[in-house]
Amino acid sequence: MLRSHTCGELTIANVNQSVTLCGWVYHTREMGGVTFVDLRDRYGITQLVFNSESDISLGDKAKMLGREYVIRIIGKVVERSNKNLKIPTGEIEIIASSLEVLNASITPPFTLDDETDGGDELRMKYRYLDLRRSVIKNNLLNRHKVAKAVREYLDGQGFADIETPFLIKSTPEGARDFVVPSRVNKGEFYALPQSPQTFKQLLMVSGFDRYYQIVRCFRDEDLRADRQPEFTQIDCEMAFVEQEDILQMFEGMVKHVFKKVRNMELGAFPRITYSDALKYYGNDKPDMRFDMLLHDVTDLVKGKGFKALDDAEYSGAIAVPGAAEYTRKQTDELTEFVKRPQIGAKGLIYIKYLKDGSFKSSVDKFYTELDLKKWAEATESKPGDLILLISGELFVARRALSELRLEMGSRLGLRNKDVYKPLWVLDFPLLERDKETGGWMACHHPFTSWKVEDERFFETAPGQIRANAYDFVLNGVELSSGSIRIHDRKKQEKMFKAIGLSKEEAEQKFSFILNAFEYGAPPHGGIAFGFDRFCSMIVSNQENIRDFIAFPKNNAGRDTMIDTPDGISDLQLKELGIRLEPE
């Protein structure tokens, strides 16, 4: 080793030892003939002292050091007079007796502190420098800790980590596949997996019983903020289980990880059905850190001559605690907020339930004090609360109320960064309408089984069939999805038919799994966690995926550091038997 110690380990116990350290010059300062250098490595920072009075040439050399130079020094550990108790090495410093520059550095294009002056673009182009910032460095080290805790738990529960292939087959369901042209089989393509779904099911057919993998997946999606074309999944499957077994098993996993990584104990995870989640929170991944439930007041508000509400499919309201004193400017702001195109409400009605028990509202023209009193009761409001009402199409109005609820939660400081509220959402629908084609498509994926009692809806109302599907949600963020699978060929064929896959397509793309179900497929089910998001939520309690991926792509799917995607040579194209379409 080029060093005897790291920059994070020397303490008062090492005083008088001769040591060799390597690292990066983080900060330097000169004070009366002495140069102080904060030497940084992955493990910490140690203060070096170069004294020009005792060694001029050494002192001169130290003065030449620039930011981010890589150096190696020999020196003696001494107690500091001016201690820094904020860092583990803050009680000592090293009196350097020798200095070797292992590599120089030109000046970094941005500062490498936690609060950097580098914009996103610059940070991404020089990601190898951005990764030196301790906040990003710690994110990645914590990501490893999360992976380790996950493996520890699943290994302990008898799950086998089995690798599945990356060069697989393009299938017509779900998002778009990335494809890989085959040179050896010209004109043919592999596809990169969107998930190892069918392979993990085959492993259950093989009898592996409990499988997991922390595995890269790929989706060629259209660009959206914070979506990565490649992402990592904790992928799991179990045989001979029912839904309850899976919920228990993975509730245990999440608890284990929180204990190991954050030293936090999470209590039992509450559960809610998909339909209740929509009813009370307006979406299927409610943030449970605060209540402020949606109340359906559709019928209550009708019949007083206010056309917008009289005609509405749905009117819903939330009671915002203690916000009755909101000014006109503030309520106008909220109206603007819900009318933004991405939220899409037509307007916002407010009722201030004043401390003195009186009401002041934007609909005083149509509703009496007594009417509003009933609204207050219906929304369980107390004097001092602000009641906010949105009406319109059920789907749109609920979604808008959900956004408004989250916004009010944030404004009122109810979405505390130190609080975690886990939740299972159950009984998702099996099928939903494809907006483009109008046909039915799988809500989760086409290998999901359904509730036996809903079988009858296949002919009459496919949208009403409930799947044996569940999501794990944390503070409003969906961290995992899973389901009990189909393990019967006939049922699988029925599902393929329901989503409009012809017998021929089903056979061409999925014959391997249809066939596998004929050779003794056991009942099985599983779950997959979005690992990038999982890490981000556990470590920072916010969705900030890019800061938890070592080398992420930007929103255009580009890695600007290595500059890819990129052209390839004509020879490569020729060998692959493909040609570029002219623009």
Question: Which parts of 296-355 interact with a second copy (CB under 8 A)?
Answer: none
Shortest distance in whole angstroms from residue 355 CB to a second copy: 55
Question: Which parts of 493-512 interact with a second copy (CB under 8 A)?
Answer: 511-512
- How far, in Å, CA of 238 to CA of 527, rounded? 9
Please report, for residues 124, 165, 197, 281, the alpha-carbon distance to residue 178 in angstroms, rounded to integers and kept in the order given. 23, 14, 16, 36
Helix (H) or strand (E) holding 55: none
186 or 382, CB closer to a second copy? Answer: 186
Establish if 116 lies at the interface with a second copy (CB under 8 A): no
Question: Which parts of 33-52 interact with a second copy (CB under 8 A)?
Answer: 40-43
Neighbouring residues of 15: CB distance < 8 A, sequence distance ≥ 6: 77, 78, 79, 92
Shortest distance in whole angstroms from residue 226 CB to a second copy: 16
Shortest distance in whole angstroms from residue 262 CB to a second copy: 19
Among 57, 81, 82, 103, binds a second copy (CB under 8 A): 103
Query: Per-residue x/- mask for a second copy, residues 370 to 409, rule CB under 8 A?
Result: ----------------------------------------
Among 430, 501, 521, 538, binds a second copy (CB under 8 A): 521
CB 93, CB 131: distance < 8 Å: no
- How far, in Å, CA of 272 to CA of 145, rounded? 30
Question: Which parts of 73-92 interact with a second copy (CB under 8 A)?
Answer: none
183 or 340, CB closer to a second copy? Answer: 183
Question: Which parts of 137-156 interact with a second copy (CB under 8 A)?
Answer: 137, 140-141, 143-144, 147-148, 151, 155
User: Left, alpha or beta for 84 (phi > 0: left; psi -120 to 50: alpha)?
Assistant: beta
Neighbouring residues of 74: CB distance < 8 A, sequence distance ≥ 6: 18, 19, 20, 96, 97, 98
What order do you get walking across the sheet with 477-484 strand by strand? Answer: 160-161, 210-218, 230-239, 524-530, 477-484, 469-474, 422-426, 271-273
Among 487, 528, 533, 537, binds a second copy (CB under 8 A): 487
Shortest distance in whole angstroms from residue 60 CB to a second copy: 20
Query: Per-residue x/- mask for a second copy, residues 226 to 245, rule CB under 8 A?
Result: ---xx-x------xxxx--x
Among 5, 10, 19, 22, binds a second copy (CB under 8 A): 22
Among 19, 24, 323, 345, binds a second copy (CB under 8 A): 24
Shortest distance in whole angstroms from residue 64 CB to a second copy: 14
Stretch that binds a second copy, among 89-97, 252-260, 296-304, 575-583 (CB under 8 A): 575-583
Question: Which parts of 406-425 interact with a second copy (CB under 8 A)?
Answer: none
Shortest distance in whole angstroms from residue 23 CB to a second copy: 8
**With contacts defined by CB under 8 A, how many residues of the chain interact with a second copy?**
125
Query: Per-residue x/- mask for a second copy, residues 203 to 222, rule CB under 8 A?
Result: x-xxxxx------x-x-x-x
Query: Per-residue x/- mask for a second copy, residues 160 to 189, rule CB under 8 A?
Result: xxxxxxxxxxx-x---xxxxxxxxxxxxxx
DSSP-based three-state secondary structure for 420: coil
Stretch that binds a second copy, among 300-308, 356-364, 409-417, 546-554 (CB under 8 A): 546-554
245 or 325, CB closer to a second copy? Answer: 245
Residue 246: CB atoms within 10 A of its CB come to 22
- How far, in Å, CA of 216 to CA of 232, rounded? 4
Neighbouring residues of 492: CB distance < 8 A, sequence distance ≥ 6: 446, 447, 486, 510, 513, 514, 517
Shortest distance in whole angstroms from residue 407 CB to a second copy: 32
Structure tokens at 301: 């508000």
- How far, in Å, CA of 291 to CA of 298, rounded? 20
Question: Which parts of 242-261 interact with a second copy (CB under 8 A)?
Answer: 242, 245
- What angle do helix axes 328-339 and 394-411 make, rounded to 10 degrees? 130
32 or 567, CB closer to a second copy? Answer: 567
Establish if 113 lies at the interface with a second copy (CB under 8 A): no
Rg, C-alpha atoms of the chain? 30
- How far, in Å, CA of 130 to CA of 118, rounded? 9
Please name which of 447, 544, 440 lies closest in space to residue 500, comparing C-alpha atoms.
440
Shortest distance in whole angstroms from residue 475 CB to a second copy: 24
Please name which of 559, 410, 512, 484 lies closest in space to residue 243, comparing C-alpha atoms.
484
314 or 450, CB closer to a second copy? Answer: 450
Among 202, 301, 317, 400, binds a second copy (CB under 8 A): 202
Long-range contacts of 334-343 (CB under 8 A, 24+ apart): 334/388, 334/404, 334/407, 337/403, 337/404, 337/407, 338/390, 338/400, 338/403, 338/404, 343/399, 343/400, 343/403, 343/404
Structure tokens at 136: 């990003």
Establish if 132 lies at the interface with a second copy (CB under 8 A): yes
- How far, in Å, CA of 239 to CA of 525, rounded? 7
Stretch that binds a second copy, among 347-355, 383-391, 414-422, 573-581 (CB under 8 A): 573-581
